[in-house]
Structure 1
Amino acid sequence: MGPRARKTWLALHVISSVGWLGATLANLALASAAFGAPQLYRAMALLGDLVVLPLALTALTTGVVLSLGTRWGLVKHRWVLVKFALTVVAVAATAFSLRPELHAAASGVAGAGRGVLAASCVSLSIYVFSTVVSVFKPWGRTRWA
């Protein structure tokens, strides 16, 4: 991958990752307030559908493209492999757990939405950890390097 293409993909990756982190912070704030105002779950469901999931998929896609198109590789360094695994888990949890829970809570299903605050905290922890791993690049190379 040439320098211009790498920088373009990197910019897209950073923008989508930071956006995903910001949208998660917004969901965390809304989840904290939703205990007294259940209508906020509608806003969270909308945010999940139109912002969080597209940003998550973009971050995953651009991360894979960058890993395959640069010297880091997808399986050459442990930090890349850990970030990839965490991102896949976070995208799957967003798509198949968080969004359905938000839609159920927005529809007024009794008991729905209880895990949303915890899910937002876990998501935020994953994204912060992934960011730190990206900066420090720990753990060395894998046996496939």
Structure 2
Amino acid sequence: MTTLSTPRTTPPPRANRIRWSIPARLRKSILVTHVASAGIWIGIDVVSIITVAIGWVREGEARTSAYRALADYFVVPLLVAALIAGAICLVTGLLLGMATKWGLVRYWWVAVKLVLNVAALAMMLAFLGPFTELASGEQPLEDIWFVSFLAATAMSFLSFAMVISVFKPWGRVRK
């Protein structure tokens, strides 16, 4: 008995799709850099939250000293380090999106991660002025709440991005 089979044909490539072919070793290096930069960013957020919390539980002069140390030695260097880690995370995420089957906005979970990363970076840039005013002494130390707000918000964004990276929910953007 003979069976009739139709030859498999591959669909023609889409003209609007950008996909680079990169070697597996390079792709894995980019992926490691992406994960490491996100981990560094989360670590910076944890350090910021803990340092502000230490100041909150203190009273009087001890609180002022903790906030002064945070403003003088941590705020601007942590912000710069977080901006660098966030930018690296964004760039490597874009490279991975263009070089893998997931695409940049082909799947909802990738698009959401992209939006979260851009939103977190925009928030850090929006708080750049108050951070430098705090570090220079132009802003009262009691107004340090935004350091923990920014860190907690970024940490929640990044944690959510990590979860959706693992579970990959929601399917394709368009069929």
What TM-score does the superposition give when structure 2 sets the normalisation length?
A: 0.76
The one-letter code matched in structure 1 to 2:24 is: P
- C-alpha distance in 2, partners of 1:53/1:75? 23
Amino acid in the other structure paired with 1:105? L
**Equivalent in the alignment of 1:71:** 101
SS in 1 for 2:145: coil
Residue identity in the other structure for 1:142? V
Corresponding residue to 2:130 among 79, 97, 101: 101
Offset at residue 5 of structure 1 (A): 1.4
Residues in 2 aligned to 1:32 and 1:120: alpha-carbon distance in whole angstroms: 12
What residue in structure 1 maps to residue 33 of structure 2?
Answer: 12
| Contiguous gaps of at least 5 residues in structure 2 | 1-21, 57-62
Aligned identity (percent) is: 32
What aligned pairs does 1:1-145 form with structure 2 within 5 A after superposition? 1-35=22-56, 36=63, 37-39=66-68, 40-42=70-72, 43-49=74-80, 51-97=81-127, 99-108=128-137, 109-110=139-140, 112-143=143-174
2:52 touches 2:67 (CA, 8 Å); kept in 1? no
TM-score (normalised: structure 1): 0.90
Kept in 2: contact 1:45–1:103 (CA 8 A): yes
Checking the alignment, whether the CA contact within 8 Å between 1:101 and 1:116 is kept in structure 2 is no
TM-superposed deviation, 1:46: 1.6
CA distance in 1, matches of 2:23, 2:99: 9
Q: Secondary structure at the match of 1:128?
A: helix
Q: Deviations over 1:16-49 (max 9, x none)?
A: 1111111111111122224412211221222112
Provide the alpha-carbon RMSD of the alignment.
Answer: 1.4
2:44–2:78 Cα contact (<8 Å) kept = yes
For 2:48 and 2:171, the matched residues in 1 are separated by 34
Deviation at 1:62, TM superposition (A): 0.3
CA apart distance, 1:96: 2.3
Gaps of 5+ in 1: none
Whose Rg is larger?
A: 2
Taking the aligned partners of 1:83 and 1:72, their CA distance within structure 2 comes to 12
What is the CA deviation profile of residues 89-116 of structure 1, one whole-angstrom value per residue up to 9, with x for unaligned ones? 001111222x322222222212542322
